[in-house]
């Protein structure tokens, strides 16, 4: 098969081309490792190799994937594979992009327990209480949803899908004693109502998290929703 890898070295952008064997069940990360054993100068990130650390997100044949999870056989098209850095990101080198946004946005959105959970007692929850937000705790902050999110093309202030999934995780956790409406007001300052419902976040999440629905759930729990301005008179009767 033909493999193209996008390169960047601070001065120029180019593609390296390889003719490589197609290996059944090989992941994108294993393929990159195989190439790098020969070439040795392609920069890409990986750590856990098991869909936990969230560092290895890349774009393959126009789809944002976790390199350690996605299989070559599921992405190859016409015997060709194009591996590029993800969209909507600052490229540092080759396939490595800046992840600073994660820490910055977690801080700006105060995504932690505001009132400390006491460490001297058990903070018990019922299975039903846990089930309300359990799925959202699977987020590994790989940012695949963010890199695909179309709202970011129109609204620079939009915090991104995974940030709202984090909001959901605290708003629906019974152990979090902070003022839920205050959390939602902060989410509104960061674009809670700017989602355009394109569903890209749902399609790409490697953990099966549905951020678009988390956003809707947060909106539904907003006690002070904004008045919708459609830009025309809606009172026809
Ligand atoms: S919601 Fe999914 S795609 Fe988005 S950062 Fe979390 S794990 Fe990655
Ligand atoms: S559904 Fe909303 S949050 Fe998800 S990718 Fe589309 S615009 Fe972004
Ligand atoms: S290497 Fe950790 S998620 Fe892929």
Q: Exposed (0-12), middle (13-18) or buried (19+): which is 25, by Cβ within 10 Å?
A: exposed
State both tokens at 130. Answer: 């846990």
Task: Output the CA 229–ligand 1 centroid distance in Å.
Answer: 31
Domains by residue range for the chain, with CATH? 2-97 (3.10.20.30), 100-220 (1.10.1060.10)
Which ligand number lies closest to the CA of residue 143?
1
Q: pLDDT tens digit string along 123-161?
A: 889 999 999 999 999 999 999 999 999 999 999 889 999
Pocket test for ligand 3, best of 27, 32, 58, 66 (most atoms within 8 A of CB): 66
Pocket test for ligand 2, best of 190, 199, 205 (most atoms within 8 A of CB): 199
Ligand 1 atom with least separation from CA of 138 = 7
Which candidate, 198, 190, 187, places its Cα nearest to that of 220?
187
* Residue 221, ligand 3, Cβ within 6 A: no
* Residue 159, ligand 2, Cβ within 6 A: no
* Residue 49, ligand 3, Cβ within 6 A: yes
pTM confidence score = 0.92
Q: pLDDT tens digit string along 55-106?
A: 999 999 999 999 999 999 999 999 999 999 999 999 999 999 999 999 999 9
DSSP one-letter string for 60-104: ETTEEEETTT-BHHHH-BTTEEEEEPPSSS-EEETTEE--HHHHH
Atom 5, ligand 2: residue with shortest CA distance? 149
* Residue 68, ligand 3, Cβ within 6 A: yes
Determine the pLDDT at residue 231.
56
Q: What percentage of the chain reaches a pLDDT higher than 70?
A: 95
């Amino acid at each position: 098969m033909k493999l193209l890898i996008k390169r960047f070295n601070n001065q120029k952008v180019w593609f390296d081309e390889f003719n490589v064997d197609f290996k059944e069940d090989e992941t994108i990360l294993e393929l990159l490792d195989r190439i790098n054993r020969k070439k040795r100068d392609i920069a890409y990130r990986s750590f856990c190799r098991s869909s936990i650390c969230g560092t290895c997100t890349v774009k393959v044949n126009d789809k944002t994937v976790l390199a350690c999870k996605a299989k070559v056989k599921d992405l190859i098209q016409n015997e060709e594979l194009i591996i590029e850095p993800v969209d909507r990101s600052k490229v540092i080198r080759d396939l490595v992009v800046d992840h600073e946004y994660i820490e910055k946005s977690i801080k700006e959105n105060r995504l932690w327990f505001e009132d400390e959970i006491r460490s001297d007692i058990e903070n018990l929850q019922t299975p039903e209480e846990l089930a309300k937000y359990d799925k959202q705790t699977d987020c590994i902050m790989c940012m695949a949803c963010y890199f695909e999110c179309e709202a970011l093309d129109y609204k620079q202030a939009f915090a991104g899908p995974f940030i709202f999934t984090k909001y959901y995780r605290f708003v629906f956790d019974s152990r979090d004693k902070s003022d839920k409406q205050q959390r939602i007001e902060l989410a509104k300052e960061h674009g809670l109502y700017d989602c355009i419902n394109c569903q890209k976040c749902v399609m790409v999440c490697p953990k099966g998290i549905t951020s678009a629905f988390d956003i809707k759930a947060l909106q539904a729990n907003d006690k002070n929703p904004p008045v919708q301005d459609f830009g025309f008179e809606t009172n026809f009767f």
